Structure 1
Amino acid sequence: MPGAKWRPIPVNFTKGGQDDVRGVVVHIMDGSYAGTDSWFRDLKAKASAHFGTSRAGDLCQWVDTADRAWAQADGNRTWLSVENEGRGGDALTDDQLDRCAEVLAWTHKTYSVPLQVANGPSGRGLGYHAMGGSAWGGHTSCPGSHVVAQLAEIVRRARKLAGGTAPSDDDPSTYTPPKFPTGLAPNKAEPCARTLQRALKAAGYMPKGVKEADNYGPQTQAAVIKFHNAHPQYRAKGKPNDPAIGPKGWSALFRLAYDK
């Protein structure tokens, strides 16, 4: 990739075998940039990534994108990967956001990856390690909620680099969600609860097998909490397990579900 410092590793990747590229997966190193570079060169690691960023804004490439990096288990076949210097719980620096956006914009140009936040392993766009669940190694804390909350900003910057318009995360995108319904709240029987449930399913926060109902009940509340854990900027302040969705969260959820 132009702009990335080429630092090829001799081990811990599969030559060729990269299938149709669905997008880019964001990781956190849980360590230093130099330490990760060294670790990927050790046979004991059995791990690697295509790209890496430092907190100061360095961008390197360890593995050719025609080859399969060992980053997210079953996701290695169809996803590229970018490791970011930091620890669990950190947010990416402004420089790291720029570098990740550059990787995503280049992937869009090279592999026609859509500039959007992916809604799961079968989606396309910008994803994150934990979204793959056990099939991707069960790394539920990677890259952490703070980084997941920054994915929309990375997409926004990538769209600008690609020459398109990119509304902020609080503005409508190409999909206009239904108007937020007055009175929609947990434990209330509202016909629009079904609309919320369908969006939660489409975005991957509610199992598809759950039967839809008018009541905003426990299963819907649990799904909204999952959404808020991934996007904490939309939950009520001081409520780490907020089961209610507000107007901004409603809008963001519908874009994640349907703006593809």
Structure 2
Amino acid sequence: MARPQIYPKADAKSQWFQTRYPGATMNANVGVIHTTEGTDWPSYGGGASAPTLTAKPDFKAKKLLFRQHFPIDKSARALVNLRGGTETNTLNAFQIELTGTCDPSTHAKWTKAGYAHIYWPEAPDWALRGLGELFAWLDKEHGIPLKCSVKFLPYPKSYGSAGGQRLSARAWQGYYGWLGHQHVPENSHGDPGNFPIAKVLAYAKGTTPPKTPTPSKPTSRIAALSSAVKPGGRHSQVRDLQQLLIKAGYGPIKGAVTDFYGVNTQGAVARFHDRNPKYKSIGLVRDPRIGPSGFVALQKMAGRR
């Protein structure tokens, strides 16, 4: 009997990308949780960096709205998947992006500005119940186990791999259950922070959820620039660069966020240099390449410490 490929509560028309990006056929047995770091439906570059599903809160109705982008058993595209390296997108991974943030500084900024949003480490119970229903359906129809054996670190400690949370290629290949973007090899992103996975799994199982622990105090998260981050290149840190540019007021960046340093990202970097000429390469009228010192300055402008 064929397994159902569309979540019954999902809109599979508004942003359906399967026709443009057919992907690889697989049998989903692991779930990867992301956060969008935005408050609206992302464009995903027309599907180039889309997950399987996106969940967006409807605050008035106190429920989650879902948009599905690919069938459950087709590979999504929200992870870094290096050619010749560890299979990530294509290794039986169902992926969900949660609209909102895992970043405490972004949460504070949006709260101050009056933006309605979910800070996922402290998500309301109605949102966690909505995810629990999805997880229960995925367990029943696709066998993604309602278990998690990894620790979700708070953002920004979860960024990169210094926190020890990133799985090895072998551990990733043998993992079944739920984890976050912060755990996937070949990736550097720290979402979804200290996500309350135990609560979601409890709701999915119909048991009493545990109390939410007190959030950990944020730590320093100024990151060094990778030499691979350059115009025309691809690198996971480009996504971070794009988000920083947008947060600091140098956006919008059409098609963001992706790992590709394209013309739109170059234009935003050039705008950054126009306003901060001391970080510009000497002799260039228009400088589209971010440098190490400029990248540090940009992070501080976006609120990092």
Given the two structures, how large is their TM-score scaled by the length of structure 1? 0.54
Report the RMSD for the aligned CA atoms in angstroms. 3.0
The aligned counterpart of 2:202 is 156
Change (3 A) 1:97 1:239: closer
Q: How does 1:187-206 map to 2 (within 5 A)?
A: none
- Tell whether the 8 Å contact from 1:23 to 1:113 is kept in structure 2 after alignment: yes
Provide the secondary structure at the position in 1 that maps to 2:188.
coil
Q: As a proportion of its length, which structure holds more helix?
A: 1
SS state at 1:55 partner = strand
Q: Which runs of 5+ in 2 are unaligned?
A: 1-6, 59-63, 82-86, 104-118, 151-166, 220-305
Match among 53, 63, 68 for residue 51 of structure 1: 53
Mapped to 2, the partners of 1:157 and 1:13 lie a distance apart of: 35
- Alignment partner of 1:3 is 2:9: yes
CA contact (8 A) 1:12 1:69 kept: no
- Contact kept in structure 2, 1:26 and 1:84, CA below 8 Å: yes
| TM superposition shift of 1:96 | 2.6
Q: TM-score, normalised by structure 2?
A: 0.47
Alignment partner, residue 33 of structure 1: 40
SS class of match (1:108): helix
Measured against aligned partners, the alpha-carbon deviations of 1:166-194 in whole angstroms (never above 9, x if no partner) come to 35447xxxxxxxxxxxxxxxxxxxxxxxx
Give me the whole-angstrom Cα distance separating, in 2, the residues matched to 1:127 and 1:24.
Answer: 6
Matching residue within 67, 74, 83 for 1:67: 74
- Post-superposition, which runs of at least 4 consecutive aligned residues in structure 1 deviate over 6 A? 237-240
The partner residue of 2:193 within 137, 141, 144 is 144
Number of corresponding residues: 163
Instruction: Kindly provide the amino acid, as one letter, of the partner of residue 159 in structure 1.
Output: K
d(CA) in 1 for partners of 2:9 and 2:218? 42
Judged with a 3 Å threshold, the aligned counterparts in structure 2 of structure 1 residues 93 and 55 are, in CA distance, closer, same or farther, namely farther
Other-structure match for 2:128: 97
> Sequence identity of aligned pairs in percent?
17
Q: 1:100 to 1:142 in 2, by over 3 A?
A: same
1:152 is displaced (CA, Å) by 0.6
After TM superposition, the structure 1 = structure 2 runs for residues 7-22 of structure 1, keeping only pairs within 5 Å, are 7=13, 8-10=15-17, 14-22=21-29
Q: 1:128-160: per-residue Cα shift (whole Å, max 9, x none)? A: 110114x2x211x21112xx2x10111001112
| Distance in 1 between residues matched to 2:132 and 2:34, nearest whole Å | 14
Question: Does the 8 Å CA contact 1:26/1:129 hold for their aligned counterparts?
Answer: yes
How far residue 100 of structure 1 moved from its aligned partner, in angstroms, is: 1.8
**Which one of the candidate residues 164, 171, 175 is aligned to 1:123?**
175
What's 2:141 paired with?
Answer: 110
| Secondary structure at the counterpart of residue 17 of structure 1 | coil
Give the residue type in structure 1 aligned to 2:97. E
Summarize deviations over 1:25-56 as a string: whole Å, max 9, x none: 1110011233x1xx12x34x620011111122
Q: Counterpart of 2:141 in structure 1: which amino acid?
A: T
Task: State the one-letter code of the partner of 1:81.
Answer: Q
Q: How many Å apart are 1:79 and its aligned residue?
A: 1.0
For residue 138 of structure 1, give the secondary structure of its aligned residue in structure 2.
coil
Q: CA distance change for structure 1 residues 13 and 114 in 2, over 3 Å: closer, same or farther?
A: farther
Q: Among 101, 106, 119, which residue is 1:87 paired with?
A: 101
